[in-house]
Amino acid sequence: MQRQSAARLGPLLLLLLLPLAWGKGPSPPRAAEELQVSNRLAGQAARVALHYLNYRLGSPSALRALGQVRKATLKTIPGIGHKYYLQFTTEDYKSSLNVGTCLATVFYLKRKPRPAVNINCTYTKDQKQIREDDYSFYKKMRQQTKPIIGNDIPDSYGNIEPALEPAWALAVAGSSYLMWEKSTENLGYFMAQVKNVKQWITKDDSIDFDYSVVLHEIPTQEMISCHLRVIWTPGHPLKVKYFCLSENQWSESEEGSGTESGSTNGIFNEKEAHF
Amino acid sequence: MYQIKESNSELVTQHYLGMTYENRPVYYLKISQPSDKVKKIIWMDCGIHAREWISPAFCQWFVKEILQNYKTDPKIKSFLQNLDIYILPVLNIDGYIYSWTTERLWRKSRSPHVNGTCFGTDLNRNFNGSWCSKFQVEAAEKAAVALKGKHGTNFTVGPSSLVLYKTSGSSRDWAHMIGIPFSYTFELRDKGAYGFILPPDQILPTCEETTTAVMTIIEYVNQKDAVGAGETWSCHSFSGM
């Protein structure tokens, strides 16, 4: 897959913010196929949608992982690409407790470098608590006079030092941007480990980190080393730059896209019953 | 392994399989109730991929469970009358040690290639055998149900090519090719949040739920009449197959 520096996706961004219209696709109708929920391509697409969500929400305390796929349909649009329509449950990334359901479309386009995602979710975790947890991490980092540093998170035995846990979570959020960009219909990613984290003390409102992360690539089983620069202010979009060792240039996320995180992405704090 | 054999010598024997590239001996255990009967064989190997630490941990746990409970647990007593269980706790010894001492996320063996500039073969892609997708659905589904009953973990049952990804030359392909009727790969926790580097508090529940699943399949095979030689399976962690 060709790597380009991040395209400006202005008009496409607006499209992505519109609420999902379930079941409606481009006309005339194309070949549509219902997939088994255990189908790996469905799970793969659901994970791509969650990478996008985790990046856009930019909240270390609200990271989500895939629970189970409940429904999956694939539409083949000749000459253009493959579009997945998905319904899946989600789990809290750290605790694995169920935190709600999502509806998403994931469109793998032949001519665009990264999948186009549209996603809407219910969320059963307490939003106020999330904001407080995010802010408490942010405040602690803002108060550092000496930059925090860390290595091997988790360590070989699966332990994560509590003090470094939010920095690890922010790495997951930042890596989500890069994993979304790199994902294809057949190549998927997980963040396996933070090899290194180093904070940059800033003069503005943001907190700023340099990360070395290792991504696990499926199905190749390759481990890919990447450098990430993540700049964050709670309630604002994450700013992410990255450089992976197989590439020869930095890639950047959109900066100051002007969209709010949270409610405009259609995240509802409803109970499960509504689905 | 030696200690286990010594303290359970009425049931356990230790056998030599060969040497690794780095000259370490590979041993497996045979758990067998002495009898005149012709027994079916269960073969289980763990640790074919170095970084999947939960896999050798599970093999060790499983051996412990059998040896601790075979005198008192009627199900274990019953299947040991008809089945011999062979366990290879770490197949890829060199790689496993390398992942402890040097590189946590190493996967392959440590055989040198290209004049020592490149190391390792993926041991689960190197078996002779064509790609196949045969599996015994009923036993696997029973196992998944039993497993879920333990800690609520959902397992997906199906051909690995559909549920995980396509491979060729896996141990399961080879087992099928040589005529072993039941052949399974268990992909243990987790689903990717921590991946190969599983948090310590998940080790015990993983071993417990997997033991339940394995026991279910053993009981199933034990009850089936003369299906054939037995079954094999291979345990991996998290999308590691």
The 10s digit of each residue's pLDDT in A48-103 is 999 999 999 999 999 999 999 999 999 999 989 999 999 999 999 988 899 999 99
CA nearest neighbour of B66 among B44, B49, B51: B44
Does residue B237 register a pLDDT over 60? yes
Determine whether B187 is an active site residue: yes
Q: pLDDT tens across A101-114, in order? A: 999 999 999 877 89
Residues of chain A contacting residue B107, judged by C-beta atoms under 8 Å apart = 221
- From residue A219, how far is each of A3, B92, B167, B229, B235 by CA, in Å? 20, 20, 9, 32, 17
- How far off is chain B from A37, nearest CA to CA, in Å? 9
What is the rounded distance in angstroms from the CA atom of residue A221 to the CA atom of residue A2?
Answer: 20
The closest CB to that of B197, out of A192, A218, A219, belongs to A192
Per-residue model confidence (pLDDT) at position B238: 58
Determine the average pLDDT of the residues in A253-259.
45
Residues of chain A contacting residue B48, judged by C-beta atoms under 8 Å apart = none
Q: Does B37 lie at the interface with A, CB-CB under 8 angstroms?
A: no
What is the rounded distance in angstroms from the CA atom of residue B171 to the CA atom of residue A18?
Answer: 48
Q: B199: nearest CA in chain A?
A: A158
- How far off is chain B from A156, nearest CA to CA, in Å? 6
What is the rounded distance in angstroms from the CA atom of residue A89 to the CA atom of residue A107?
Answer: 20
Q: Which of B97, B107, B194 has the most A C-beta neighbours within 10 Å, making it the best mutation to test the interface with A?
A: B194
Q: Which of B121, B165, B188 has the most A C-beta neighbours within 10 Å, making it the best mutation to test the interface with A?
A: B165
The percent of residues in chain B predicted with pLDDT above 70, rounded, is 89
Residues of chain A contacting residue B167, judged by C-beta atoms under 8 Å apart = 219
pLDDT averaged over every residue in chain B: 86
In this structure, what token pair is assigned to residue B187? 């992909």
Per-residue model confidence (pLDDT) at position A258: 34
What is the rounded distance in angstroms from the CA atom of residue A55 to the CA atom of residue B142?
Answer: 39
The percent of residues in chain A predicted with pLDDT above 90, rounded, is 72
Q: Does A158 lie at the interface with B, CB-CB under 8 angstroms?
A: yes
- Higher per-residue confidence, A148 vs B232: A148
Residues 43-62 of A with CB under 8 A from B: 47
Q: Does B240 lie at the interface with A, CB-CB under 8 angstroms?
A: yes
Tell me if B166 and A193 make a contact (CB, 8 A cut-off): no
Sheet holding A31-35, edge to edge: A31-35, A64-77, A81-92, A98-109, A116-122, A267-268
- From residue A90, how far is each of A61, A100, A117 by CA, in Å? 14, 6, 16
Residues of chain A contacting residue B166, judged by C-beta atoms under 8 Å apart = 219
pLDDT averaged over every residue in chain A: 83
What is the rounded distance in angstroms from the CA atom of residue A120 to the CA atom of residue A103?
Answer: 5
Determine the average pLDDT of the residues in B109-129.
85
- From residue B50, how far is each of A156, B55, B123, B126, B209 by CA, in Å? 13, 9, 10, 15, 22
Q: φ and ψ at A234, to 5 degrees?
A: -55, 140
Banded pLDDT at A275 (limits 50, 70, 90): very low
Candidates B10, B65, B141, B187; catalytic one: B187
Does residue B27 register a pLDDT over 90? yes
What is the rounded distance in angstroms from the CA atom of residue A14 to the CA atom of residue B90?
Answer: 53
Give the number of beta-carbon pairs within 8 Å between A and B.
69
Residues 205-224 of A with CB under 8 A from B: 214, 216, 218-219, 221, 223
Determine the average pLDDT of the residues in B166-192.
81
The closest CB to that of B192, out of A157, A190, A221, belongs to A190
Residues of chain B contacting residue A219, judged by C-beta atoms under 8 Å apart = 164-167
Q: φ and ψ at B130, to 5 degrees?
A: -90, 165
Residues of chain B contacting residue A156, judged by C-beta atoms under 8 Å apart = 99-100, 104, 197
The closest CB to that of A39, out of B154, B162, B193, belongs to B162
Per-residue model confidence (pLDDT) at position A100: 96
Q: pLDDT tens across A112-170, in order? A: 789 999 999 999 989 999 999 999 999 999 999 999 999 999 999 999 999 999 999 99
What is the rounded distance in angstroms from the CA atom of residue A17 to the CA atom of residue A265?
Answer: 6
- How far off is chain A from B34, nearest CA to CA, in Å? 39
What domains can you pick out in chain B, each with its CATH number? 1-122 (3.40.630.10), 127-241 (3.40.630.10)
